[in-house]
Amino acid sequence: MKNFVIGVDVGGTSVKLGIVNALGNVVSRSSFATEEFMGTPEALITAIANAVLVLLQGAKPSAKDVAGIGVGLPGLIDVENGVVRILPNIPGWLDVPFKKILERKLNIPVQIENDVNMITIGEWQYGAGKGIENLICITLGTGVGAGLVLNNNIYRGPGFAAGEIGHVPLEIDGPKCGCGGWGCFERYAGHKSLQKQAAKVFKDKSITLEEVYRRAGEGKKKAIKFWDETGVLVGIGLVGVVNILNPQCIIIGGGVARSFEFLQPSIKRTIDRRAMKTQASMVEIIKARLGDDAGLIGAKVLICHEK
């Protein structure tokens, strides 16, 4: 029986791999640094193929127990054709037939997907979103992304580009953004901007968000206020999608979600105040549950639940 899948999570700094069992648990894992193989797409795909072979070497399960490989990539992914359209942060990736190349190397079926969508489907089927038919999963990190589950299906849009919540404008003017717009949500709630804000508030250029989180945990008022104000920002960024999509829950993931307990009350308060009554009363703000494994576990959903 092909009860296992292999999940591959390609990030800007590392590529993580894991064997996922029938219950959606990661039973074996490995990783390598992305940087060494950034030269060409072919080099990175070969490195992934080799890492898969090493992971399956002498192991139980072996290749014959694997139903498929699900790969999450940080960019615009043509899921139907298995083609990476573009990876904005990894140079040289333009219209790469990833699925075809990796399948030829390994002779195992491959599906590829946007990394935030992988996290979303993982959380939806095996994590915080279990049993929920309409949800938004947002990742707060260097970038601010989102995956949408609507009527029990992942919604990708006709160009596979839906869910770019980080580029919802919050201001008529406002700072320029890499996407070509300005005043985008990400320019306020992205990791870099929060770091800058923390440096200003605490008058310490080297302070990290981890440190601000630690201080909040110790009950320090200034740190708690920092996260409360960040929650207001995140809440404002979400009001529009709450009004438009009427989701049952919003799952908060990504590195910044570590501070969820300090963010949640002000996110909820802001949505209650500013979103429309019906939508606001129906939406729950919950914390992602699968942590760094969400992208790997998403592979299980990609391979086994979708065509």
Q: Which residues bind Zn ion (CB under 5 A)?
A: 167, 177, 179, 181, 184
Residues in the chain: 307
Residue type, 58: G
- Considering the complex, state which of residue 109 and residue 169 has its C-beta at the smaller distance from Zn ion: 169
**Of residues 136, 122, 134, the one with CA closest to residue 238:** 136
Q: Which is nearer to Zn ion, 181 or 265 (CB)?
A: 181
Nearer to Zn ion, 184 or 242 (CB): 184
Measure the CA–CA gap between 70 and 296, rounded to whole angstroms.
Answer: 8
Residue 145 Cβ vs Zn ion, minimum distance, rounded to whole Å: 11
Smallest gap, in angstroms, from Cβ of residue 166 to Zn ion? 6
- Quote the least distance from Cβ 67 to Zn ion, whole Å: 37
Among 285, 290, 304, CA closest to 9: 290
The minimum distance between CB 167 and Zn ion, in angstroms, equals 4
**Does residue 295 contact residue 118 with C-beta atoms inside 8 Å?**
yes
Long-range contacts of residues 199-204, Cβ cutoff 8 Å, at least 24 apart: 201/226, 202/226
* Nearest in space to 295 (alpha carbons), one of 191, 160, 147: 147
The DSSP call for residue 151 is T
- What's the min distance (Å) between Cβ of 174 and Zn ion? 10
CA distance readout (Å), 192 to 138, 155, 200: 17, 28, 13
Measured from the CB atom, the residue of 184 and 241 that comes closer to Zn ion is: 184
Residue 171: CB minimum distance to Zn ion, A:
12
CB-nearer residue toward Zn ion: 27 or 179: 179
* Between 184 and 212, CB nearer to Zn ion: 184
